Structure 1
Amino acid sequence: MRMSELSTATGVAVPTLKFYRREGLLHAGETTSPNQARYDESHVARVRLVRAMVEIAGLSTASAQRVIAALDDGGMPLNSLFGVAQRAVTMPAALAHPEPAAADGDGTAEPEAADGPGARIIAELCARRGWHVHAGNPGLAMAARVLDAYAQLGRDDLLATVGAYADAADTVARADLAAVSGAGSVTAMTDVVVIGTVLGDGLLAGLRRIAQESESQRRFSAPPASLAADPEESC
């Protein structure tokens, strides 16, 4: 298919496709003439992935580039690929943090490691649960900063939620890895790592919001009249 047909198949405008191509987010098509190239279903799949990363997961172009580069690196171990995807998802929030960020060997900005009481609590949690985590895992600093924020806001009572959150995280991680293991080929497993990690945060956040409303209705009030009258309108 030509680029105009790729645009039709994906719903992405031709100028955007050209931008993806220039930025290395979309691999080259088969050259058919000096000014023409042919694209196939692999390009359709890649455009849809890039669009999901940028529009749904909110990744920056630079973060999406790193994920695509890792995805195209056939020799990267799955554990390393998880790390790339985790950092890509983490970076939008980290860049919004007012503190300066350090850069690692490949130029990727990293949030500074948390060193407050929250870091100790998270380290003790990992030890109790037998979680074996690399010191550079972005989740360590993310979780520690949240706990430090609880303390600064005078809400140490929220520390009581950490155990339940950890249980939920274990359940989600097992589901993630089961999906990876069941994918079959190495190529399919790689796709599941990237797609599941990059988009899974949004799914988890969405389900949490749904469950929070449902639980709050159960605990604090009767179901809204509109839902009680028409159960098909509820989940």
Structure 2
Amino acid sequence: MKISELSRRSGVSIATIKYYLREGLLPPGEHTARNQAEYPESTLRRLRLARTLIAVGGLSIAATGKVLRAMDEPVTIFRTLGLAHYALSSPFPDEAHEDVDEQFYAEARALVKAAGWTIVGDTPYIASLAAGHKALADIGLNWSAQDLLPYAKLAHAAARLDFDQDAGIEDRIDIAERAIVRTVLLEPVLATLRRLAQEHEAAQRYQSTGQAADGGGSE
């Protein structure tokens, strides 16, 4: 397909597609004339993913490029998932990883062990978990691995549900795409669901009879 059709079918402007091509997010098409090129169906799929990661997921051009290049690696499904996940930005900002004492790394490793999780090789998420422990401690919540274990179990249940939805899919790129989209796009949805659930629980536990939903009393 020509770039005009690529634009029409994806809903992405020609100018943006050309920008993605210059930045290496999309593979170059097959030139058919001096200023024309043909693009395969796979380019449309990659364009939609890139646009979703950038426009909806909030990833930078550089981060999106890392994710897409990681998914191009000709390796196993497990390795592809690892490369793609590790290309994403940390759940915590870079400054949160500064001056994290070993005790927080120890708690992070203890939590992974208590959850019974198998971690193969180095993972950047131990550092993220340690940063999270420190952030909690900085505001007086000195939670141990045991304190966080119930949350880890909930996270494991969510992860199991994630991959259950991929049952029957064998294409490693398709599985990796789904995993990345879920990670980037579903996490805000899950955070919103949690807040709604907290509102419900707060109302059930603390709202007095006849009290307004905004916390104000009736006159």
Q: TM-score range by the shorter chain?
A: 0.7 to 0.9
Equivalent position of 1:44 in the other structure: 44
Deviation at 1:160, TM superposition (A): 7.0
1:124 aligns with 2:124: no
Q: 1:25–1:65: 8 Å Cα contact kept in structure 2?
A: yes
1:147 aligns with 2:133: yes
Work out which of the residue numbers 81, 94, 98 in structure 1 matches 2:95.
Answer: 98
Equivalent position of 1:78 in the other structure: 77
Secondary structure at 1:156's aligned position in 2?
coil
Deviation at 1:11, TM superposition (A): 2.0
Work out which of the residue numbers 125, 134, 159 in structure 2 matches 1:173.
Answer: 159
AA aligned opposite 2:3: M
Deviation at 1:15, TM superposition (A): 1.5
TM normalised by structure 2 equals: 0.80
- Number of equivalenced pairs: 211
Deviation at 1:68, TM superposition (A): 0.9
Secondary structure at 1:63's aligned position in 2?
helix
1:183 aligns with 2:180: no
Deviation at 1:134, TM superposition (A): 4.0
* Separation of aligned partners in 2, 1:160 and 1:139: 18
AA aligned opposite 1:60: S
* Separation of aligned partners in 1, 2:164 and 2:124: 22
Q: 1:29–1:37: 8 Å Cα contact kept in structure 2?
A: yes
Aligned Cα root-mean-square deviation (Å):
2.9
Q: 1:85–1:197: 8 Å Cα contact kept in structure 2?
A: no
* Separation of aligned partners in 2, 1:77 and 1:113: 36
Distance 1:187 1:147, change over 3 A: closer
Secondary structure at 2:18's aligned position in 1?
helix
Q: 2:110–2:145: 8 Å Cα contact kept in structure 1?
A: no
TM normalised by structure 1 equals: 0.76
* Separation of aligned partners in 1, 2:212 and 2:149: 29
Equivalent position of 2:60 in the other structure: 60
AA aligned opposite 1:215: E
AA aligned opposite 1:216: A
Deviation string for 1:211-230 (max 9, x for gaps)? 233333333336849xxxxx
Equivalent position of 1:195 in the other structure: 181
1:133 aligns with 2:119: yes
AA aligned opposite 2:78: N
Deviation string for 1:85-136 (max 9, x for gaps)? 3223334x55x4237xxxxxxxxxxx67944432222211222222122463
Distance 1:115 1:23, change over 3 A: same
AA aligned opposite 2:94: H
Runs (5+) with no aligned partner, structure 1: 100-110, 226-235
* Separation of aligned partners in 2, 1:29 and 1:199: 29
Deviation at 1:46, TM superposition (A): 1.4
Q: 1:57–1:89: 8 Å Cα contact kept in structure 2?
A: no
Distance 1:86 1:71, change over 3 A: closer
Percent identity at matched positions? 33
